Amino acid sequence: MRTQAIFTKALLLSTIFILCSFGNSSPDWGFFGHKRINRMAVFTLPPEMIPFFKKNIEFITEHAVDPDKRRYATKHEGVRHYIDIDHWGENPLEEVPKYLSEAVMKYGEMILFTEKGDTLTLFKYEKPKKNEEEKKEEKEGKKGKVKNKKDESQLIDVLSEGLEKKTPYSTFRDGFVVVKKDAKAIFGKDSMVIELKALSDFYNEYVANMYFDDEWKVDAEIINGFLGEYGALEKFTGGQIVDHFSGYGILPYHLIKMQENLTRAFESGNSGRILRMAAEIGHYIGDAHVPLHTTENYNGQMTGQDGIHGFWESRLPEMFADDSYNFWVGKASYIENPRNFHWDVVAESHSYVDTILSLEKELSITFPRDKQYCYEMRLERTVRVQCTAYATEFHNRLDGMVEKRMTDAVKAIGDVWFSAWVDAGQPDLMKQDEYIISEEEKKQMEEEEKLFKAGTIKGRNHSN
Ligand SMILES: [Zn+2]
């Protein structure tokens, strides 16, 4: 009875929230979906874990949405919920490095300041022009011009030829950056080859600790030491790294970090920490299972399908999950390679993006226009939603996709909780009781809740 009431309330609240803010700040999977996914994951756990998690199942359920609330408190939160993987070239899953440090350096920029007051660019990634654009410009007879422009702006080449593929994804460490534009001024040569591994190591040693700072300035001594090894001609007064990568989302990297955090929490034996980390990683794993969290066209805004994000991940689960989805996903299993595991989830999610967009496009053209959107009363407010018949038809055409992604998320969360516990040495959870939230935590949560209700997302406005 009580559970039923909670679900109904959660459903109403989440739907209203989504519709009021259609297209710019809907919480992923809806609050309903995230809570349901976290809750069901508890039942995948082995006998050594399940009593502790069951005792705290309300905490795990309620806190499934904390990371979304935090997007209103810090600008660094938003990017953890998605990755616009298709922003990064034709074969992004092969090209984007699996380590954040490498991705930041590959797609970033390093600026050097000279004693004379000049600024030189050691490297800067330039997104290659899309083929379609080139074709279009070719058609319009501008090809020569475009080519010249491209050559001038090409600051670096990233070479990964001969890269030995041990995994489906680029390791990047085996690649090289060829510095061209300012190579003459910096090294007295037309070009300079720098190992990407060296740049990645440089980042890890001198930049990573500044990740949350607004500017990533590097001291002269460090810059000169690094470039000295490549025979730089002059001494620099300092340098700066500019991150052009994180803004397009860092979800899979964050998942790997969160799994490590959860493992540390199990090691610490602090039940509050374990539960917080478990609930929160559940949220991010849920996000990673939503195909529209892996694309730049996350809300159909590039294809005239605004609102498809909430339609797929909130409206459909809210309509169908309770009555028709089967959440029995079996027992959690151990993850051998977390990095590949989380990237595989993203890759699979991304493989559904085109299907979702094209099915809805087709349906929106063939379905009677005036029967696509309806108005419903929710908590004394009129809200615009996809009509039941329209939503049902879309759901049918998706052929089980929403249920599959939702239940796969449940299984993945169980797998991650279980693996973190195993990696922590299988600590005895039987001693742990129901967790009581401290006053301080309560205060912090209220603060986040307030900001959440005030409703301005810090940082880039993204639907997830
Ligand atoms: Zn999220």
- Given a cut of 70, is residue 383 above it in pLDDT? yes
CATH among 3.55.50.30, 3.30.70.870, 3.90.226.10, 1.10.575.10 for 2-84+249-454: 1.10.575.10
Q: pLDDT tier at 25 (50, 70, 90 boundaries)?
A: very low
Give the Å distance between the CA of 258 and the centre of ligand 1: 14
For residue 237, pLDDT over 90 is answered with yes
Ligand 1 center from residue 423 Cα (angstroms): 26
Which position has the higher pLDDT, 414 or 88? 414
Ligand 1 centroid to residue 6 C-alpha, Å: 21
Residue 153, C-beta contacts closer than 8 angstroms, at least 6 positions apart: 126
CA distance 403 to 95: 30
- Cα 140 to averaged position of ligand 1 atoms, centre (Å): 43
**Chain mean pLDDT for the chain:** 82
DSSP-assigned letter for residue 331: -
Name residue, tokens 């979906």.
33
**Paired strand residues for 241:** 110, 216
Q: Measured between alpha carbons, how far is 202 from 129 in angstroms, rounded to an integer?
A: 29
Predicted local confidence at residue 13, as pLDDT: 39
Q: How far is the centre of ligand 1, averaged over its atoms, from the C-alpha of 159 (Å)?
A: 34
Structure tokens at 379: 């908590």
205 Cα: distance to centroid of ligand 1 (angstroms)? 30
Residue 222 pLDDT more than 50? yes
More confident residue, 96 or 400: 400
> Where does CATH 1.10.575.10 sit in the chain?
2-84+249-454
Encoded tokens for 375: 């108005």
Ligand 1 midpoint to CA 328 (Å): 24
Q: What is the pLDDT of residues 184-210, one digit of tens each?
A: 889 998 888 888 788 889 999 999 999
Q: Is the pLDDT of residue 169 over 60?
A: no
The rounded Å distance from CA 117 to ligand 1 centre is 44
Tokens of 126: 């330039």
Count the Cβ atoms, other than its own, within 10 Å of residue 249.
Answer: 28
C-alpha 252 to ligand 1 mean position (Å): 13
Q: Which residue has the tokens 């600024």?
A: 119
If you count DSSP H runs as helices and E runs as strands, how many of each does the chain have, helices first? 21, 9
Maximum pairwise Cα distance, the chain: 76
Tell me the residue type at 188: G
User: What is the CA(290)–ligand 1 centre distance, in A?
Assistant: 10
Top mean pLDDT of 37-46, 156-165, 368-377 is at 37-46
Q: How far is the CA of 69 from the centre of ligand 1 (A)?
A: 9
Tell me the CA–centroid distance for residue 148 and ligand 1, in Å. 42
pLDDT, average across residues 34-59: 96
